Amino acid sequence: MKIHKRYISAFVALMLSVPVFAQVPAPAPKQSKPVLLTGATLHVGNGTVVENAAVAFDNGKITYAGPKSGANTNGYEVVDVTGQHIYPGLIQPNAQLGLNEIESVRATLDMREVGQMNPNVRSVIAYNTDSDIIPTIRANGVLMSQVTPVGGTISGSSSVVQLDAWNWEDAVVKADEGIHLNWPAMLIQTGSTPDPRLANFKQQREQALTDLAQLFRDASVYKAAKNDKENLKLSSMAGLFDGSKKLYIHANYGKEIIESVNFVKQFGVKDIVIVGGGDAVAVIDFLKANNLPVIYSGVHALPSRAEEDVDMPYKTPFLLQKAGVPFALDYDLSIHGIRNLPFIAGTAVAHGLDKEQALAAITLNTAKILGIDKEVGSVEVGKNATLVVSSGDLLDMRTNNVTHAFIQGRKIDLNNKHRYLYQKFDNKYNAETKPAEAKPATKAMTN
């Protein structure tokens, strides 16, 4: 059948009239030539600040980080960022990023598995690199995340990913680095009238602890034995007993933190991290005695008790730092809000924490807890060139303005749906406020 040219022209015109919507930018190509950033203030991530600095990187690795005067410019593409600030790429721990897209659409939710004991569940294989949320987070400097499952008593294993990849295999920085345990909550009678539900809850909790103890015993025995057939649930826990995997215990109440740590230690678990840690200050001595790092989740929260200072959540990072407890910060209110990660660090600065210590709490400290500090977390020679450049203070929402971002030396496209929508409506309302152009007078119609 022959199609007339005018129909083809009409179809093309129609397609051109359809608005182009913002899409997730394609991953950046591998770094092809050496790059040198010059003139900025360098915040290394370990507490060191270098004025009028330079950072060079080639093949995805940092080759120089120090004073501008000591940098070699031969063969480098020089990018002048004078007056700006260079930071390590920020790292968000304990997130369902890429697993949870639209709460009201079940098909976009893949962050939990059925059942209570799922140590063999691997969250990373469900990680969606095409999530619309990821570009909005990168625009504020967050370039890496720990993809973490939720639900049940043992949710499964988490993995660390970088946020610019075609698929989850390309995104992985460290796969299956830890297992997440949601400690069964304690409840106590608070009123004078007995609550009939409390006895049932306590019974369920005791059963959960019994099942948990049995699983840890079985896994410990399984690791020590020679097994002809693999049991995925038990083999996935083997790393907990030799220190090759971390156990992330999600607990907030002080008694729960103490109870959970003592519980798992009796089975020989080597490397433990507390996630949440709402009562971390109340059990500081216990944390220090057991060398327990904390991923603190509650900076932007209300106090858990009426008698606590109203700013207790805000100053908890400072109190942990002062006591010498290793900690990182986690934005856990929503995945869409992960872009606010630098600002919770800024809140901690406003309540006593040194600014460079606050930066470390979302970069180097996090990298150390996740076991990736040899590769990322600070701007140092030999590490991956995963860094951001901001024209203002990255931790201040008034001045945070990321102008450049690099992941493993690859320059990241910072466009996202938020920027697209801002530009769309900025153009609309600016156009409406412009004075209308004068139109030629027309002759009135007469009969």
Q: Is the pLDDT of residue 13 over 60?
A: no
Q: How confident is the model at residue 444 (pLDDT cuts 50, 70, 90)?
A: very low
Q: Is the pLDDT of residue 194 over 90?
A: no
For residues 123 and 148, is the Cβ–Cβ distance under 8 A? yes
What pLDDT, on a 0 to 100 scale, did the predictor assign at position 190? 64
* Candidate from 19-23, 338-342, 434-438 with smallest mean pLDDT: 19-23
Residue owning tokens 């907990």: 240
Q: What's the distance, Cα to Cα, between the start and end of the chain in Å?
A: 51
For residues 89 and 373, is the Cβ–Cβ distance under 8 A? no
Give the whole-angstrom CA distance, residue 284 versus residue 229.
43
* 383 closest CA partner among 155, 143, 132, 63: 63
Q: How many CA atoms lie within 13 A of 242 on its CB side?
A: 10
129, amino acid identity = T
Q: How confident is the model at residue 17 (pLDDT cuts 50, 70, 90)?
A: very low
What pLDDT, on a 0 to 100 scale, did the predictor assign at position 420? 86
Q: Are β-strands 294-296 and 327-329 bridged in parallel, bridged antiparallel, or unpaired?
A: parallel
Q: Report if residue 167 sits inside a domain.
A: yes
**Rounded percentage of the chain residues whose pLDDT exceeds 70:** 90
* 405 closest CA partner among 24, 4, 35: 35
Q: Is the pLDDT of residue 82 over 70?
A: yes
* 77 closest CA partner among 414, 409, 413: 409
* Candidate from 6-20, 136-150, 187-201 with smallest mean pLDDT: 6-20
What pLDDT, on a 0 to 100 scale, did the predictor assign at position 1? 46
* 384 closest CA partner among 160, 72, 122: 160
What pLDDT, on a 0 to 100 scale, did the predictor assign at position 4? 56
Instruction: Report the alpha-carbon angle 249-92-48, nearest 5.
Output: 110
- Residue 325 structure tokens: 């407890």
Give the whole-angstrom CA distance, residue 99 versus residue 107.
10
Q: Report if residue 82 sits inside a domain.
A: no
pLDDT in tens, 404-426: 999 999 999 998 888 888 888 98
Q: Are β-strands 272-276 and 294-296 bridged in parallel, bridged antiparallel, or unpaired?
A: parallel
Greater model confidence, 433 or 237: 237
What pLDDT, on a 0 to 100 scale, did the predictor assign at position 108? 78
Residue owning tokens 């007056």: 83
Average pLDDT for residues 46-56, to the nearest whole number? 96
Q: Is the pLDDT of residue 93 over 70?
A: yes
Please give the backbone phi and psi of residue 161, each rounded to the nearest 5 degrees, phi first.
-130, 155
Q: Report if residue 20 sits inside a domain.
A: no
Q: Report if residue 414 sits inside a domain.
A: no
For residues 298 and 333, is the Cβ–Cβ distance under 8 A? no
- Residue 90 structure tokens: 């920020």
Residue 341: CATH number of its domain: 3.20.20.140
* Candidate from 245-259, 293-307, 352-366 with smallest mean pLDDT: 293-307
For residues 129 and 167, is the Cβ–Cβ distance under 8 A? yes
* Candidate from 10-24, 75-89, 322-336 with smallest mean pLDDT: 10-24
Residue 282 lies in domain: 89-189+196-377
Average pLDDT for residues 263-283, to the nearest whole number? 95
Q: How confident is the model at residue 104 (pLDDT cuts 50, 70, 90)?
A: confident
Q: How many CA atoms lie within 13 A of 429 on its CB side?
A: 5
Domain count for the chain, please give it.
1
Average pLDDT for residues 31-55, to the nearest whole number? 96
Q: Report if residue 63 sits inside a domain.
A: no
Mean pLDDT of the chain: 89
Average pLDDT for residues 238-264, to the nearest whole number? 95
What pLDDT, on a 0 to 100 scale, did the predictor assign at position 437? 57
Give the whole-angstrom CA distance, residue 174 versus residue 176.
7
Query: In whole angstroms, how far apart are CA 31 and each of 77, 135, 145?
Result: 12, 20, 22
Residue owning tokens 């730092």: 321
What pLDDT, on a 0 to 100 scale, did the predictor assign at position 422? 86
What pLDDT, on a 0 to 100 scale, did the predictor assign at position 189? 62
Average pLDDT for residues 103-120, to the nearest whole number? 83
Q: Report if residue 418 sits inside a domain.
A: no
Burial of 258 (0-12, 13-18, 19+ CB in 10 A): middle
Q: Report if residue 52 sits inside a domain.
A: no
